[in-house]
Amino acid sequence: MSNLEDLYREVILDHYRTPRNKGELPPPATCTEGTNPLCGDEIKIFLDIRDGVVHDVRFSGHGCSISQASASMMTATVKGKSLDHVRAVAKRFKQMMTIEENDGSTPADVKLGDIEALQGVVKYPVRIKCAVLGWNTLLQGLETTEG
Amino acid sequence: MTLDVAAIRREFPMVGKQIDGKQVHYLDSANSSHKPNCVIDAMSTFMREGYAPIGRSSYTLAANASAAYEDVRTKVAKFINARSPREVVFTKNATESLNLIVQSWGRVNLGRGDAIVLTHMEHHANIVPWQMLAAEKGFEIRWLPLTSDFQLDLATLDQLLKGAKALAFTSMSNVLGTINPTRELCTAAHRAGAIAIVDGCQSVPHMTTDVQQWDADMLAFSSHKMCGPTGLGVLWAREELLEAMPPFLGGGGMISDVRLDHFTCAELPNKFEAGTPPIVEVIGLGAAVDFLNGVGMNEVRRHEIEVMNYAYRALIDRYGDDITLHGPTNPELRGATFSFAFRGVHPHDVSQVLDERNVYVRAGHHCAKPLMRIIGANATARASFYLYSDESDVDALVEALNDVSSIF
């Protein structure tokens, strides 16, 4: 099961079992929905943005361990961060997931931290969509917020 | 086991195959079945020795190819006990068969004030085409619900059928495994003056099909779930219905004459087979029908009931309440397709862990999202068996689920 241990690392299972920032935020926080039509995973990201900073964030919905853990880690990463930083981390994450090319535009000091644990997902192409669902929904939410 | 499963398995190159030194256990036959040597060989031999276009050219090879193609139509007609091969139309897949019904029969017969009845256990292919036409024509779609034991709730059927023009339903659920009372449903439809359209994708590969005994009006099914190749579906409909229906796709092969200002259609069934058909695939389906007839569809069904009983016992003995089967528990009322939930673990995680042991199940909504919402599952894992499945496949599933327990 060595491959599986690479996929289901302890930090991922931890976020899956005890998700951070799970829940909803009332308006004026925005709510953005994302779905993965292949597996039926659905997610909602609630964003409260003030002065160019993610003041608060929550996620709700259901999905596999990878999508739930990734969304949980995402909220923990972006909370309290500037939108520029959030976009840079999102970009770096997508580069790690091999769905965006590394064009050298992301500053090297943008670190993924715990999110690095999702590296193992790349070996399972079908699951990449699960891992990026929360991030893509977040990016959509940022666009809505900024009109 | 009543069937000589070992002999059957030897006929399927993909069954019992090893990948990375581990035996593959293919439990996704409800999705698509493996192909026996005779199908692979028939297609290959036809392309090597007998290939020619059909229905157009008059040289000997083309005439022979046409005859071989039409022979398969006759075989398929017999396989489902159609009155005539003229009632059998080859399509791209069962989804196209259903779209043909909707776009041809539906477009002429359904408008504002009309209604059709579908069931809560339909595959998207028997929902979305109707919704597409309903959005355009404004007819009503009514829904036959389920009982708590995963059967169709027939109590409300007559009421729902009042004034309806069609009842379109699956003969077997691809999620629950439920086998529906097809004859009773057809009778109810006719009593109300509606036609009965059967989605036979899940039942036709696994048990005897008799459209006359059912008293059905139309039937759609696919080749690739019944040991035949992909790229080919079948539409059967009563001749008088097909005669009255306008063509679906236009082009070569479906006409008897074309003038600058109009065309006239070819006779049945060519009227519905525009363009060069999947000739090689049809030859393959013929071999698949011969193969299944050789085994006997009643034997296939009996074997699957045995596998089901074995699987049911093995899973419940080992996992008890940790496993929930979505579907009827009585094997007489179900096919060998098991949707299940395991210890609250997401089905994608279940299938991922099983994959590590080369146990292949499908996880997801199985193209039946309305049904998934009704049974309260966003997704299920599904293990489905066929005539080549045996106890070793069940044992591998039971064993691999233990790994799911260890990780989650």
Q: Which residues have C-beta within 8 Å of that of residue B333, sequence separation ≥ 6? A: B151, B178, B179
Angle at A71 (CA atoms; ends A77, A2), nearest 5 degrees: 100
A104-116, pLDDT tens digit by residue? 776 667 778 889 8
- Distance of residue A64 Cα from the nearest chain B Cα, in angstroms: 5
CB atoms within 10 A of CB B345: 21
C-beta of residue B116 within 8 angstroms of C-beta of residue B142: yes
Closest CA to B3 of B297, B392, B310: B297
Is the CB of residue A38 less than 8 Å away from at least one CB of chain B? yes
- Residue B359: its chain A contacts at CB < 8 A? none
ipTM: 0.86
| Among candidates B363, B378, B407 on the partner chain, residue whose Cβ is nearest the Cβ of A8 | B407
Chains A and B form CB pairs within 8 A to the count of 50
- Residue B363: its chain A contacts at CB < 8 A? 39
DSSP-derived 3-state class of residue A146: coil
Identity of the residue numbered B304:
E
Is-catalytic flag, B367?
yes
Q: Which residues have C-beta within 8 Å of that of residue B378, sequence separation ≥ 6? A: A40, A41, A42, A62, A63, B365, B372
* pLDDT for position B335: 97
C-beta of residue B386 within 8 angstroms of C-beta of residue A70: no
Is the CB of residue A66 less than 8 Å away from at least one CB of chain B? yes
Closest CA to B380 of B408, B354, B342, B328: B342
Is the CB of residue B359 less than 8 Å away from at least one CB of chain A? no
| Among candidates A1, A4, A39 on the partner chain, residue whose Cβ is nearest the Cβ of B348 | A39
Please list the pLDDT of chain B residue by residue as tens digits (408 residues). 578 999 999 999 999 899 999 999 999 999 999 999 999 999 999 999 999 999 888 899 999 999 999 999 999 999 999 999 999 999 999 999 999 999 999 999 999 999 999 999 999 999 999 999 999 999 999 999 999 999 999 999 999 999 999 999 999 999 999 999 999 999 999 999 999 999 999 999 999 999 999 999 999 999 999 999 999 999 999 999 999 999 999 999 999 999 999 999 999 999 999 999 999 999 999 999 999 999 999 999 999 999 999 999 999 999 999 999 999 989 899 999 999 999 999 999 999 999 999 999 999 889 999 999 899 888 899 999 999 999 999 999 999 999 999 998
Structure tokens at B150: 């995963």
Res. A147: pLDDT tops 60: no
Give A146's pLDDT tier (boundaries 50, 70, 90): low
C-beta of residue B259 within 8 angstroms of C-beta of residue B206: no
What is the Cα–Cα distance from B375 to B176, expressed in whole angstroms?
Answer: 10
Whole-model pTM above 0.90?
yes
C-beta of residue A48 within 8 angstroms of C-beta of residue A112: no
The length of chain B in residues reads: 408
In this complex, do B346 and A3 lie within 8 Å of one another by their Cβ atoms? no
Residue A139 per-residue DSSP state: H
In this complex, do A41 and B378 lie within 8 Å of one another by their Cβ atoms? yes
Mutation site, A38, A64, A133, interface B, largest B CB count within 10 A: A64
